Structure 1
Amino acid sequence: MSQFAPVPYTELNSRQKENYNFHKVAARMADYGFNCLRLTDDWQGADFIACHIDGETFLKVQLKGRLVIDRKYQGKGIHVAFILGDAAYLYDHDRLVAHLEANGLIGDDSVTWHERGFRSWPTPPVWAINFLEEFRI
Structure 2
Amino acid sequence: MTFTPINPVALNARQKELRNFHKIAARLADYGFHSMWLSDDWQGADFLAVHIDGKTVLRVQLKSRLAIDKKYLGKDLHIAFRQGERVFVYPHDEFVTWVIDRKHVGEATAAWSEKGFWHWSSLPVWASAFLEPAFELRPISS
TM-score normalised by the chain length of structure 2 = 0.92
After superposition, the C-alpha distances for 1:89-130 in whole angstroms (9 at most, x for unaligned) are 001000110101111111343100011111011112111133
Consecutive unaligned residues in structure 1, runs of 5 or more: none
- Name 2:108's counterpart in structure 1: 109
After superposition, the C-alpha distances for 1:30-87 in whole angstroms (9 at most, x for unaligned) are 0111000110010010000000011110000000101110011001100000010110
- Look up the SS of the partner of 2:115 in the other structure: coil
Provide the identity percentage. Answer: 51
Paired residues in the alignment total 136
Once the two structures are superposed, the pairs formed by residues 61-72 of structure 1 within 5 Å of their partners are 61-72=60-71
Consecutive unaligned residues in structure 2, runs of 5 or more: 138-142
Distance of aligned partners of 1:68 and 1:21 in 2 relative to their CA distance in 1, 3 Å threshold: same
- Name 2:50's counterpart in structure 1: 51
Once residues 7 and 89 of structure 1 are traced to their aligned partners in structure 2, the CA distance between those partners, rounded to angstroms, is: 24
- Name 1:94's counterpart in structure 2: 93
- Name 1:129's counterpart in structure 2: 128
- Name 1:22's counterpart in structure 2: 21
- Name 2:78's counterpart in structure 1: 79
TM-score normalised by the chain length of structure 1 = 0.95
- Name 2:140's counterpart in structure 1: none
Instruction: Tell me the CA shift for residue 88 of structure 1.
Output: 0.7
Once residues 12 and 52 of structure 2 are traced to their aligned partners in structure 1, the CA distance between those partners, rounded to angstroms, is: 33
